[in-house]
Amino acid sequence: MRNSIDENYSQEHAEYLKKLKRNKSFVISMQIAILVIFIGVWELLGELGIINTFIFSSPSRVVATIGRLYGNGELFMHIGVTTLETVAGFIIGTLLGTIIAVLMWWSPTLAKILDPYMVVLNALPKIALGPILIVWVGAGMKAIIVMALLISTIVTIMTVLAGFNEISSENQLLMRTLGATRMQTFIKVVLPASVPTVMGALKLSVGMSWVGVIVGEYLVSKAGLGYLIVYGGQVFQLDLVMASIAILCVLAAIMYYAVAMLEKYISKRIGRFGV
């Protein structure tokens, strides 16, 4: 009787896993299909003259422009500059934002003091600080990285701190009742329970870092994808603008999925060790 129940459970579990796998395959297939259809319709509308390819460009013109940039040796130089600035801003902003969020959780008084400043800084259009940053740190890569920092750090602080504060106070009270220090409570209860929130903050920070870098490149850069977009718009080379945007989409997606893979790895580690 016992073996029969276990066998039925195993079959149901196997069917459930197959269903999940089929659903995942269907989702991926539909995502690819939507992209292919969009590109195909865009190209077809351009070929039929329904849209003006000088204004809207077309996939074939975008590919040709990317090929031309590659042939001139400029493609990877511009990609490298923008990627370096974004990764630097993302890493520094995430670390700094997480540390500040921990300090604000640790000290409720500090959180109350800094809360109005966080609200103001989050609402403030960061591009307004561009001219000041140029004067302070110079018109170069430093200003662009600082711009990315300003955007990603504030988002990280507010998201991570909100995650810390959502952790059940009953669990924290239980730890204190058992004689745990505040550090032990943070490491054993708050931090593990906040992993999904922290990883969500990382995903938001990825997008904000790209926004900060592109805004910075609009203002001061002489290289990078943001510079190509501005230059292409100024000389009416809209193929260059669309090509740069397409490359940005690919790079942002790669960085986002890298964070998603990190999230899966950390979740497995936490599940394995029962943290």
Predicted confidence pLDDT, tens digits, the chain (275 residues)? 455 545 555 677 667 677 778 888 888 888 889 989 998 998 898 888 888 888 888 888 899 988 988 888 888 888 888 888 888 888 888 888 888 888 888 888 888 888 888 888 777 777 777 777 777 777 777 888 888 888 888 888 888 887 777 765 666 666 666 666 667 677 777 777 777 777 777 787 888 888 888 888 887 777 888 888 888 888 888 888 899 899 988 888 888 888 888 877 777 766 554 44
Judge if 166 and 108 occupy the same domain: yes
Judge if 147 and 47 occupy the same domain: no
Judge if 152 and 102 occupy the same domain: yes
Judge if 67 and 45 occupy the same domain: no
Judge if 75 and 199 occupy the same domain: yes
Residues ≥6 apart with Cβ < 8 Å to 56: 42, 46, 238
Burial class of residue 45, CB neighbours in 10 A (0-12, 13-18, 19+): middle
Among 252, 245, 172, 169, CA closest to 209: 252
Q: Which CATH number fits the domain that encloses residue 125?
A: 1.10.3720.10
Between CA 112 and CA 123, with CA 117 as vertex, the angle to 5 degrees is 130
Q: Up-side HSE of residue 173: CA atoms within 13 Å toward CB?
A: 3
User: What is the spatial distance between Cα 149 and Cα 131, in angstroms, rounded to a whole number?
Assistant: 16
Judge if 152 and 24 occupy the same domain: no
User: What is the spatial distance between Cα 236 and Cα 246, in angstroms, rounded to a whole number?
Assistant: 17
Measured from the Cβ of residue 252, the count of other Cβ atoms closer than 10 Å reads: 16
Residue 256 belongs to what domain range?
A: 58-273
What are 122's two structure tokens? Answer: 């989050």
Judge if 42 and 92 occupy the same domain: no
pTM above 0.75, yes or no: yes
Judge if 43 and 82 occupy the same domain: no
User: What is the spatial distance between Cα 181 and Cα 232, in angstroms, rounded to a whole number?
Assistant: 58
Judge if 253 and 123 occupy the same domain: yes
Judge if 199 and 112 occupy the same domain: yes
Quick check: 56 and 114 in contact, CB under 8 A?
no
Burial class of residue 71, CB neighbours in 10 A (0-12, 13-18, 19+): exposed
Among 156, 144, 248, 251, CA closest to 194: 156
Judge if 121 and 28 occupy the same domain: no
- The total number of structural domains that make up the chain: 2
Judge if 120 and 155 occupy the same domain: yes
